[in-house]
Amino acid sequence: MQTENLAPVSVIIPCYNCMLTVERAVLSVARQSWRPAEVILIDDASTDKTYQVLQALKTRFEADWIQVLCHRDNRGPGAARNTGWNRARQPYVAFLDADNAWHPEKIEIQMAYMLQYPEVVIAGHQWRWIRQGGKILDDFDPPEHYRVVSLSSWKLLISNPLYTSTVIVQSDIPFEFEASKRYSEDYLLWALILLNGYKGVVIDLPLAYLYKPPYGVGGLSGHLWNMERGEIDTYWQLYRKRMIPPLPLLGLILFSFAKHVRRVIKSRLWRLIQ
């Protein structure tokens, strides 16, 4: 465990009507074995008491560890993450959604790898869906040796393994989320990073916890058809940027529709077992 210094990471958490879950997310950051240097919470014009909860959380920790930023109008998660990213003061940025949480060794493991291999610009890891209530879990000790898989751009386009709450990026990369894009804005960013030649990896450890299925139940991810349209739009944008040739574009769209049908079926099964 590293305790002498804070990790050179800014954690960005977009917040919209998350008064019941954001405390769990922030506490999972505070409990990291290598604690990030700062947390940036962005209230995206919530209509509940999220802003009051964020302010209360800020007072529970030392001065300036938590920044609370606000949007006057709802701009979506991509725009909220950009707002936080623009205020980040650390060389690495980690993303966490307000209804997710982290394993306490997430930052220590992920940053140890990224600092050892500075050519890795983006890194993610596996996640677990937690069904039993809202507790933060410390349910396993990560092994000393684990698998790290190189992530190519085409591997990402065929099957995206980068769930947003698992991702850390170098903060000075010349890209950001497309603010106007409400669905698949994260997927577009990951693709742009890799298709421009930057290196990415996935750590084969479940270091993030999801407290609802990854799609099909609530939130933006609950709108499956909008998710599908967002993914197709991502492919079209990459095609217009001449990053995907015509024939692979057609293949990706057809495969995307097949994945959409599978998601619809899985989401119905998840609803039955919840």
- Which strand (E) or helix (H) includes residue 28? helix 22-30
Same domain, 222 and 105: no
Number of domains in the chain: 2
Q: What is the pLDDT of residue 30?
A: 97
Is 130 within the bounds of a domain?
A: yes
Is 92 within the bounds of a domain?
A: yes
Q: What is the pLDDT of residue 3?
A: 40
Quote the domain boundaries for residue 267.
212-274
Is 143 within the bounds of a domain?
A: yes
The C-alpha atoms of residue 53 and residue 40 are separated, in whole angstroms, by: 14
The C-alpha atoms of residue 120 and residue 254 are separated, in whole angstroms, by: 31
pLDDT digits (tens, 9 = 90+) for 160-173: 999 999 999 999 99
pTM for this predicted structure? 0.89
Same domain, 202 and 222: no
Same domain, 197 and 218: no
Which of 195, 211, 227 terminates a domain? The answer is 211
Residue 235 corresponds to which tokens in the numbers above?
């492919």
Residues paired with 13 in a beta bridge: 41
Same domain, 149 and 268: no
Is 1 within the bounds of a domain?
A: no
pLDDT digits (tens, 9 = 90+) for 209-246: 998 766 555 555 557 778 889 899 999 999 999 999 99
Same domain, 16 and 92: yes
Same domain, 175 and 205: yes
Is 236 within the bounds of a domain?
A: yes
The C-alpha atoms of residue 127 and residue 211 are separated, in whole angstroms, by: 11
